[in-house]
Amino acid sequence: MNVQLEQIEQALQASVMDAVIALSERVQTLENNPEGRIYTAYRAIDQTLSLGYSDSIDAATEQLRERDFVLLASRRGTRREQRLLLLTLKEIGIVSSYSENCFTASPNTVNHLMHLGWPLGNLKRGANSSKTLKRFNPER
């Protein structure tokens, strides 16, 4: 019985330490780069989402606009956070479209992004129906 308690305690300590390390990495990264932002952009013509990170959201917005994307939402975040999101999406079976950070704006994808805490802005309103996503107007 005592051996089981030790094993449980060690298992819990490992999880707690992983969480502490991850949190301290996030805080240090945010402190070192206070302008870093994660974002979601949408292109209506092919219903594509671009999920990214940028050190300069203004420059990223301009580059996105040149590719017909509209920035839906952004928040302070880290490049690591974006990489973890992309890995998580891959692990749950959501495949990227024409580039690593672009995805079809399906209700399934949007729901997963919402549950993962990714910034979606007005896209949250259209998450339940593919018809709503097809008519989605980010300017509203």
pLDDT in tens, 92-132: 999 988 899 999 999 999 999 999 999 999 887 655 555 55
Q: Can you state the percent helix, strand and coil of the chain, rounding each to 5?
A: 55, 15, 30
In this structure, the dihedral spanned by the alpha carbons of residues 70, 31, 89 and 68, taken in order and rounded to 10 degrees, is 10
Q: 54 pairs with which residues across the strands?
A: 37
Domain that holds residue 13: 1-32
Residues 20 and 83 in one domain: no
Residues 125 and 65 in one domain: yes
Q: Tell me phi and psi for residue 51, to 5 degrees.
A: -110, 110
Residues 10 and 67 in one domain: no
pLDDT in tens, 63-96: 999 999 999 999 998 888 999 999 999 999 999 8
Would you call 55 exposed, middle or buried from its count of C-beta atoms within 10 A (0-12, 13-18, 19+)?
Answer: exposed
Q: Which of 124, 83, 88 has its CA nearest to residue 105? A: 124
Residues 25 and 45 in one domain: no
Residues 52 and 15 in one domain: no
pLDDT in tens, 1-48: 677 777 777 777 767 666 666 666 666 555 666 689 999 999 999 999
84-98 residues labelled b (16+ CB within 10 A) or e (exposed): ebbeebeeeebebee
Residue 102 lies in a domain: yes
The pLDDT of 42-59, averaged and rounded, is 94
CB-based contacts of 11: which residues, under 8 Å, 6+ apart?
none
Q: Domain tally for the chain? A: 2
Residues 106 and 42 in one domain: yes
% of the chain residues with pLDDT over 70: 74
Phi-psi region of 126 (alpha: psi -120 to 50; beta: other; left: phi over 0): alpha
Residue 107 lies in a domain: yes
Please give the Cα distance from 45 to 51 (Å, whole number): 17
